[in-house]
A and B are shown apart, each in its own frame.
Chain A
Amino acid sequence: MLRYTLKRLLSLLISLAIASLVIFAVIEIAPGDPASFMLGINAQPETLAALRSELGLDLSKTQRYIDWITGMLSGDFGTSYTYRTPVADMVTQRLWVSLPLALYALTLSTLIAFPAGIFAAARRGKAGDIGVMGATQLGVAIPNFWFAMMLVLLFAIKLRWFSAGGFVGWEKGLLAGLHSLTLPAIALALPQAAILARVMRSSLLDVLGEDFMRTARAKGLTARQALWRHGLRNAMIPVLTIIGLQFSFLLAGAIIIEQVFYLPGLGRLIFQSISARDLIVVESVTMLLVFAVIFVNFAVDLAYAVVDPRLRART
């Protein structure tokens, strides 16, 4: 297990190093000088030079990369060019929207997908199964931002149950906060639930064909008892992997949904920073998201190895 963990850890570090180089390089070749963007076209060359040196833009590329990385490692993500506030503070603030939204969507998607997948597997080939599978086909085909617009149309404009966008803030209370995240969470959860339900179903069907399931039936359990006591637990491994992957996807993939609902999350922060040429924010937030995704993948790999000892032996 230790060997496996170390190997995974090494590959995690290499991935992060390469990812940071790629992100830095992309931002470096981005057209547009942040200093001249901030000062406008009429700026004096001396002022421009002063600002460039203040922002550290006159240093060599290597020096700036090293500064950026060492800064990030010690929790200093730099200072936003436009807002003049530490990027770390901006990120923390935005995380209070993005993280709960991702968790909320993940909970919803699990709550929809589990019953749907189990229901379909238990009625394999029957009308219920075909119905659920048809619904999941539709679910993966619907663009979530379009679905979001439809939700707004129905629940915000016609029925007025929810607001069409924005976030009230957690100061107004947990319920009010959750209430304003409900439509975005549903929009995010739908395609995820469709995928998860399919995985749940096919994983269960695989398990149902196993010998131990026949044994369970032979010792007198009904099909339903065997499914709940022995089938589900064994079918969970691939399902948990997908849930882990979906979480990192939801965190990074909410970008478009945040745009639809004008939510002050990480995704909108990236967008606003790109248009304001606030490259240090773009750079750091992208790196953070990549880190989150790579780290969750790493954690899922480890969890997988704990559950399934065969994986450890293989490497």
Chain B
Amino acid sequence: MIRNLIFGGLLTSIFVIAALLSFVWTPFDHVILDIPSRLQTPNMTHLLGTDHFGRDILSLIMVGARTSIAVALVAVGIGMGLGIPLGLWAAARRGSLVDEIIMRGNDLVFAFPSLVIAILITAVFGAGAVNAIIAIGIFNIPVFARITRGAALSLWEREFILAARVAGKSAARISLEHILPNVTNLLIVQGTIQFSLGILAEAGLSYVGLGAQPPTPSWGRMLADAQTMVSIAPHMALMPGFAIICTVLGLNLMGDGLRDYLDPRLRVKRV
């Protein structure tokens, strides 16, 4: 439904804009500790209150949005950058050994408990945003490979592809010029869904201390800080939580809306 798309888009853009705005302006400096004004509940000066170091929570959420969005976005980029070519390749050589190897490799990555492996990777190679990106990105690869291959397989049977083959185009050119543009819609929709999953994963990793390291603020870290304070300053936990929920909800609604919008058949038959 177009309503989902608009609402989800608006919700998501609030946080994207906040993240971009934080590069030039935040209400307060998020690095400076202001102990006298610690643990303030939301008020006119500090709209979302302050944390146990007196830092402005709104400013922290704005800067934290950068971390969350950047990690999730690059992780989706890794998934798309490697997954789509693999999927196209597998479809172009369908039924061959290459196809079999790519698909079995996908199954294997799917079979790993992603959280355990992400924790293992970040723990072994050191906690930090870059390793979190890699850990999340790896699990995006099979998602995009599988969805690209699935959609490309049915396209390879179509007449216009046959025409391109008769015209003498190579499999690689057909994949790039004819298959890829026709699966883009699907990939964009999947991209928003993986994006939202990436935000949740990043929050989880940062929460256990394996994501972005201080002083870089991230929503997960803010929640970890808030945990010991939850009885005296619940707003410290509520605010970053709402930020995560709103972003993920916005992205999911956007994904749903986009799917319906880009696929006219679904506009009639909605399941």
List residues of A whose CB falls within 8 A of some B CB: 11, 14-15, 18-19, 23, 26-27, 29-31, 137-138, 140-143, 145-146, 149-150, 152-153, 157, 202, 205-206, 248-249, 252-253, 255-256, 259-260, 270-271, 274, 282, 286, 289-290, 293-294, 297
Decide if B115 is an interface residue (CB 8 Å cutoff).
yes
Q: In the complex the two chains form, is A141's CB within 8 Å of B196's CB?
A: yes
Interface contact A286-B116, CB-CB below 8 Å: yes
In contact, A15 and B116 (Cβ under 8 angstroms): no
Q: Is the CB of B223 within 8 A of A146?
A: yes
State which of A19, A146, A260 has its C-beta within 8 Å of the C-beta of B108. Answer: A19
Complex contacts, B124 vs chain A, CB 8 Å:
26-27, 29-31, 274
In-complex Cβ contact of B204 among A15, A143, A153 (8 A): A143
Residues B104 and A11 in contact, CB atoms below 8 Å apart: yes
Bitwise interface map of B from 215 to 233 toward A, beta carbon under 8 Å scored 1, else 0: 0000000010011001100
- Min CB–CB distance B201 → chain A (angstroms): 9
Instruction: Find chain A residues with CB under 8 A from B175 CB.
Output: none
Chain B residue contacts of A260, Cβ below 8 A? 227
A-contacting 9-mer, from B150-158, B166-174, B246-254: B246-254
- In-complex Cβ contact of B227 among A149, A202, A248, A294 (8 A): A149
Whether the Cβ atoms of A152 and B207 lie closer than 8 Å is: no
Q: A26-B124, A252-B116, A270-B116 are in contact. Are A141 and B104 (CB under 8 A)?
A: no
Determine whether the beta carbon of A150 is less than 8 Å from that of B207: no
Chain A interface helix/strand/loop/mixed? helix
- Taken together as a complex, chains A and B put the C-alpha atoms of A153 and B104 apart, in Å, by 45
Listed from nearest, the 4 A-B pairs whose CB atoms lie closest are A252-B113, A141-B248, A141-B249, A146-B241
User: What are 22 A-B contacts with C-beta separation under 8 Å?
Assistant: A26-B120, A26-B124, A140-B248, A141-B196, A141-B244, A142-B245, A143-B204, A143-B244, A145-B207, A146-B245, A149-B223, A149-B227, A149-B230, A149-B241, A153-B231, A206-B271, A248-B113, A249-B113, A252-B116, A253-B115, A270-B119, A271-B208
Query: In the complex, what's the smallest C-beta–C-beta distance from A2 to chain B, in angstroms?
Result: 21
| Contact indicator B237/A150 (Cβ below 8 Å) | yes
**Closest CB-CB distance, A284 to chain B, in whole Å?**
13
Given contacts A15-B107, A290-B112, contact A143 B200 (CB under 8 A): yes
B residues near A, CB below 8 A? 104, 107-108, 111-113, 115-117, 119-121, 123-126, 196, 200, 203-204, 207-208, 223, 226-227, 230-231, 234, 237, 241, 244-246, 248-249, 252-253, 271
Q: Contact between A255 and B119 (Cβ–Cβ < 8 Å)?
A: yes
**Cα distance A270–B208 in the bound complex, in angstroms:** 12
A260 CA / B204 CA spacing, docked (Å): 11
Give the chain A neighbours of B123 by CB distance below 8 A. 274, 282
A148: min CB distance to chain B, Å: 9
Decide if A256 touches B111 in the complex (CB within 8 Å): no
Quick one: which of B108, B204, B237, B271 contacts A202, CB cutoff 8 A?
B271
CB of A146 within 8 A of CB of B244, answer yes
Tell me whether B234 and A153 are in contact (CB under 8 A).
Answer: yes
| Chain A residues with CB under 8 A of B116 | 252, 255, 270, 286, 289-290
Bound: A280/B252 CA distance, A: 40
Q: Supply 10 further A-B pairs (C-beta < 8 A) apart from A11-B104, A141-B196.
A: A19-B108, A137-B249, A145-B207, A153-B230, A255-B208, A259-B207, A259-B208, A270-B116, A282-B123, A293-B112
* A150–B111 CB distance below 8 A: no
A212 to B241, alpha carbons, bound, how many Å?
Answer: 46
Query: Nearest A residue to B241 by beta-carbon distance?
Result: A146
Tell me the smallest distance from the CB of B195 to a CB of chain A, in Å: 13
Report chain A residues within 8 Å CB of B248.
Answer: 140-141
Please state if A137 and B252 are interface contacts (CB–CB under 8 Å): yes
Taking the closest CB of chain B, its distance from the CB of A46, in whole angstroms, is 29
A-side contacts of B104, CB under 8 Å? 11, 14
Contact present for A152 and B271 (CB under 8 Å) = no
A19 and B227 within 8 A (CB): no
